[in-house]
A and B are shown apart, each in its own frame.
Chain A
Amino acid sequence: MCEHSHIPFYQNTRKMTPDIEPKKKYQINPAYTLLADRHCAFIFNSKGWPTFRSHPEVDDNFTQLVSPLYASIFAYWDGSKTYHETIQQIVNEMHIQQDVLEKFLHPCIHNMEKTALHFSDKEILEETSSNWIPKNFIIECDGEPRTDLPEPEAFAIPVRQWDFSRMRSRIPTTVTLMLTNRCATNCIYCYADNQHRVEQPLPAEKWLELIQEAHDFGCLSIDLSGGEVFLYPGIETILQTLHQMGYHPYLSTKIPLEEERILQLKECGMTELQFSIDCWDAALMQQMLNVPSSYFERLKRSLDALEKHGIAVKVKSVITSYNDKPEQVEQLILNLSAHKNITSISIAPAENSLYKSEQDFIGYRTSRRQWEKIEALVESMAATYREQCEIGCQGLLDSREHCAAVDEKARVYPKRTRCPGNINMLYVLPDGKVTICEELYWNPRFIIGDVRKQSLMEIWESKKALELYNLSQETFRKTSACHICPQFDPCHQQSGVCWKMVIEAYGDEYWDLPDPRCPYAPPATQKYYIE
Chain B
Amino acid sequence: MKNRENKKENAVDLTKKFELDANAMNQIVGGTSFWMDPATGTGVTVSGPDDILCGDLEVVQSCEQSCKTCTSNKTYIYICGTKLKGK
Contact = CB atoms under 8 A, between A and B. Distances in A.
Interface of A: 1-2, 12, 66-70, 72-73, 76, 78, 80-81, 89, 92-97, 100-101, 103-104, 116-120, 122-126, 128-131, 147-153, 156-160, 162-164
Contacts of B20: 69, 159
Nearest to A150: B2
Interface in B22-59: 22, 24-26, 28-32, 36, 38, 41, 54-59
Contact of A159 (B4, B8, B41, B81): B41
- Majority secondary structure of chain B interface residues (helix, strand, loop or mixed): mixed
Given A96-B22, A159-B77, 17 more contacts: A93-B7, A95-B25, A117-B55, A117-B57, A118-B81, A118-B82, A119-B30, A119-B32, A119-B54, A120-B84, A122-B54, A129-B58, A149-B2, A153-B12, A158-B19, A159-B36, A160-B41
A69 B25 contact: yes
A150 B2 CA distance: 7
A164 to B, nearest CB: 5
Contacts of A130: 57-58, 81
Contacts of B74: none
A95 B13 contact: yes
By DSSP majority rule, is chain A's interface helix, strand, loop, or mixed?
loop
Interface of B: 1-2, 4-5, 7-8, 11-15, 17-20, 22, 24-26, 28-32, 36, 38, 41, 54-59, 77, 81-86
Contacts of B28: 67, 69
A104 B56 CA distance: 12
B21 to A, nearest CB: 8
Nearest to B6: A151
B25 A96 contact: yes
A94 B15 contact: yes
B48 to A, nearest CB: 13
A157 B41 CA distance: 13
B12 to A, nearest CB: 5
Contact of B55 (A81, A101, A131): A131
A63 B7 CA distance: 29
A101 B25 CA distance: 10
